[in-house]
Copies of this chain bind each other. A is one copy, B any other.
Amino acid sequence: MTHTIREKAKLLARVRRIRGQVEAIERALESEAGCEKVMHLIASTRAAMAGLMAEVLEDHVRVHLVDPEKYPDALNPDGVGQLLDVIRTYLK
């Protein structure tokens, strides 16, 4: 995932926040917190996972669909933008 080198710090920060959210679900269950709280924690962790996937997909589209060195101008920005818009709609 070569493009994560540039993005690595950003993606790692996201994953660590998600780990923290999962640990919060664990604590809520251990402390027998109310159902509402547990469901809310799970829903927000799911949203964070969707955000992580959207970011990784975006990197993938920008770097792995076309070799940027070999074909610097091949990717159509509008086409990429439309694709990412739809992906984000579904990854909420």
Contact = CB atoms under 8 A, between A and B. Distances in A.
B52 A42 contact: yes
B46 A29 contact: no
Contacts of A60: 35, 39, 79, 82-83
Nearest to A3: B35
Contacts of A90: 43, 53, 87, 90-91
Interface residues of A, number: 61
The count of identical subunits is 4
Nearest to A86: B39
A82 B60 CA distance: 9
Given A5-B32, A35-B1, A65-B76, A46 B50 contact: yes
